[in-house]
Amino acid sequence: MTHADPDAALIKPTTMKSFPSAVALNSHLIQSRIGSLLVNRYTAFLLGVLIYSLAVRLLGSLRGMLFIDATGGLALGKQYLELAFLVYLYFYCNLILRPSRWQPILAVIPILLAYVGQDLYFLMYSNVFRLSEQAEIPELLKVLTAKHIAVLLVTVVAPLSCFLWAINYRKFWRLVAGALPIVMLVTVAECYPEYYTAAYRKVGREIVFWSDAVSAENNGRFMMLLYREAERNIAQAKTKAFRDRPRYEQQAQALAAELRGNSNNRNVHLVVMEGFVDPTLFKAAKYSKNPFHPSFQKLFGNNMGFSISPVVGGKTAQAEFEVLCGVPAFEELAGVEFNGFTGAQAYCLPGQLRLLGYQTIATNAYNPSFFNEPNAYQGAGFDQSYFPREYSASSDSYLSRGNTEGEMEYMFDSVLFEQNLKFITPLLKDKSGPPLFNYVLTVYGHFPHLLNEQKRPRVIKMIAPFKDPQLERAANQIFYRSEAIADYVGRLLELDEKSLIILVSDHVPPGQYGRKSYKKLHYLDNTDESLHMNRILIIEDGKAKKYATIHHYDVPSMVFNYITEGAYCQKHTCGFIENKLLDDRMARHDDYLRLMAHASE
Distance (Å, rounded) from C-alpha 177 to C-alpha 161? 23
pLDDT above 70 as % of the chain: 90
More confident residue, 275 or 24: 275
The pLDDT value given to residue 2 = 46
Per-residue pLDDT at 599 exceeds 90: no
Taking only the tens place, the pLDDT of each residue in 190-229 is 899 889 989 998 998 888 655 677 888 889 888 988 988 8
| Confidence bin at 140 (pLDDT 50/70/90) | low
- Would you state the pLDDT for residue 451? 86
Instruction: Give pLDDT tens digits for 546-565.
Output: 998 999 999 999 999 999 99
Looking at this protein, which amino acid is placed at residue 462? M
Nearest CA to 328 out of 551, 31, 564 is that of: 551
Overall pTM surpassing 0.75 (yes/no): no
pLDDT digits (tens, 9 = 90+) for 416-449: 999 999 999 999 998 888 999 999 999 998 888 8
pLDDT over threshold 50, residue 49:
yes
Least confidently predicted of 78-82, 131-135, 487-491:
131-135
Q: Cα–Cα distance between 284 and 464 in angstroms, integer?
A: 6
* Cβ within 8 Å of residue 226, ≥6 positions away: 131, 185, 186, 189, 196
**Which residues sit opposite 359 in a β-bridge?**
436
Q: Residues 324, 348: contact at Cβ < 8 Å?
A: yes
Q: Are 266 and 500 in contact (CB under 8 A)?
A: yes
pLDDT band at 567 (very low <50, low <70, confident <90, very high): very high
pLDDT over 80 at 289, yes or no: yes
35: pLDDT confidence band, cut at 50, 70 and 90?
A: low
Distance (Å, rounded) from C-alpha 455 to C-alpha 424?
27
Report which of residues 55 and 144 the model is more confident about. Answer: 55
In the chain, the domains with their CATH numbers are 41-239 (no CATH), 259-599 (3.40.720.10)
Omega before 510 cis (within 30°)? Answer: no
What's the rounded Cα separation, in Å, for the pair 429 and 328? Answer: 36
Mean pLDDT, to the nearest integer, of 305-313?
90
